[in-house]
Chains A and B, each alone.
Chain A
Amino acid sequence: QITLKESGPTLVKPTQTLTLACTFSGFSLSTSGVGVGWIRQPPGKTLEWLAIIYWDDDKRYNPSLQSRLTITKDTSQNQVVLTMTNMDPVDTATYFCAHRTVGKTALDYWGQGTLVTVSS
């Protein structure tokens, strides 16, 4: 059974760096083809893909946010970490992590999400 859960601060100040962790079970990020991605959703708006990291440490970022994002994995801890620098109130959103297997399968398992508010 695949599960993912996001953790991190619920409130950050403008210009601060956000660090979110995705802790998962039921699969290994050392298995060929597996990836974990991050997606966010501002209140009342649509979803925005942020980044994904794969079993071979291949990393892909949304070009519009690439300069602010870093995604890393700790295979032994079953964890993926996303950092986003220079936070702004427009970054207020629910942040989700999700599992993917390379191929035509999309984001098939999602965490419950964590709401991050950016405010002074």
Chain B
Amino acid sequence: EIVLTQSPGTLSLSPGERVSLSCRASQSVTSGYLAWYQQKPGLAPRLLIYGASSRATGIPDRFSGSGSGTDFTLTISRLEPEDFAVYYCQQYHSSPWTFGQGTKVEVK
């Protein structure tokens, strides 16, 4: 099983700031089958990035994904008020599909 470790656990930031979230895999994620989701309280996760760097439909271009192998990053270029949420990475090539434990981006 591929274990995904996200860091940091919590980030306290202000609107307008740039943020980079890390996701490290215990084994190489085949062909970049790595996704990022945003989740707000009481709601379902929302797909932001798939294939490590492709934005999902309707996702603003302030969200970008990068990385390969075992190290992946989600970057938000300028935090908007609606971006404060929990972010999860997921690998979806090797069974079982696994999720990271999440990074919470909170208002400073």
Residues of A that sit less than 8 Å from B by CB: 46-49, 60, 62-64, 96, 98, 100, 104-108, 110-113
Contact = CB atoms under 8 A, between A and B. Distances in A.
Interface stretch (B18-26, B66-74, B75-83, B96-104): B96-104
Interface of B: 31-33, 35, 37, 43-47, 50-51, 54, 56-57, 88, 90, 92, 95-102
Given A104-B51, A106-B90, A108-B56, A49 B99 contact: yes
Contacts of B96: 49, 62-64
21 contacts: A46-B88, A46-B100, A46-B101, A48-B99, A49-B97, A49-B98, A62-B96, A63-B95, A64-B96, A98-B44, A100-B92, A104-B50, A104-B51, A104-B54, A106-B47, A106-B92, A107-B35, A107-B37, A111-B44, A112-B43, A112-B44
- Please give me the 7 A-B residue pairs with the lowest Cβ-Cβ distance, nearest first: A106-B35, A104-B51, A110-B44, A49-B97, A62-B96, A106-B50, A47-B99
